[in-house]
Structure 1
Amino acid sequence: MTSFDNRETAFENKFAHDAETQFKITARRNKLLGQWAAEKMGLTPEETTAYATSVVQADFEEAGDEDVVRKLLGDLTSAGVEIDDAMIRAALEDKMVEARRQFIEPA
C-alpha cells in the first residue's frame, strides 16, 4: 500500500506544480499584455509598470480571459487607440507564446 500512497502523492505534487507553473505563465502573459497596451497608449515607463500590474490584477476578477480582454478594450478605446476585440485576442495569444518561452528559457 505504501507504493500506491507514494504514487498518489507524486501525482498530487505534479498537479500542484503544473497549476503553479500555469499561473505564473498567465501572470507573465498579462504583464506583457499590459506593457503592449501601455505602449499603444503612449504611457511613461512608470505608468507602464503600474498599468501592467493592473492588467495582472484584472485577471483575478473572473475565471478565463474575458476580464483581461474587457479591461484592455475599454482602456485602449478610452485612450483613443483604434482597436477591436480580435486584435486584443491576437495579442493575447502572441503574449502567451512569449510568456511560455520566457518561462522555459529564462534570460
Structure 2
Amino acid sequence: MTTFDARERAFERRFVQEEDARFRARTRRNLLLAAWACERMRLGAEAADRFVETFTDAGVVTGDGPLLSRLQADLRAAGVEETLPALRRELDRCAALARAERRAGPPPDPTA
C-alpha cells in the first residue's frame, strides 16, 4: 500500500465518521423537536410516541423547510399556532442541545 492509498483510506474513513455524526445529530435534533411539539399539542404517551416516530422518520428524508412546514401544519391541526420563525428558533435550540449532548457523551447507565 502506498502512502497515497493510506491517506485516501483515512480521508474516506473520516468522511464516513463525519457523515454518521451529522446524521445522528440531525436525528436527535428532530427527536427533541418532536418531543417539544408533543408537549405543545398535549398529546398522550401513546399518541406522542407515534408522532415522534413518524416525525423523525420523515425528518431523515426531507429538508428543514418542509419539515418545519409539516410541523406547523400538525401544530395548527391540534389548535396550536406557531410561526415559522418561532419554529426555526426551536429547531436551532434543539440542534444546539443535540450537539451539546454529543460533546458530553452518552448519559451514565443508571443500572450500573
> Does TM, normalized by the shorter one, top 0.5?
yes
Contact 1:58 1:67 in 2 (8 A): no
Residue 70, structure 1, aligned to residue 49, structure 2: no
Report the RMSD for the aligned CA atoms in angstroms.
1.3
| Structure 1 moving runs of 4+ over 2 Å | none
Once the two structures are superposed, what CA deviation does each residue of 1:37-91 show, in whole Å capped at 9, x if it has no partner? 00000001222222111111122443x2112101110000111102110110000
What's the % identity of the aligned pairs? 35
Residue 52, structure 1, aligned to residue 55, structure 2: no
Q: Distance in 2 between matches of 1:77 and 1:61?
A: 23
Report the TM-score, using the length of structure 2 for normalisation. Answer: 0.88
Residue 104, structure 1, aligned to residue 103, structure 2: yes
Report the TM-score, using the length of structure 1 for normalisation. Answer: 0.92
Q: Any unmatched runs of 5+ in structure 1?
A: none
Number of equivalent positions? 106
Structure number with the bigger relative contact order (C-alpha 8 A, sep ≥ 6) is 2
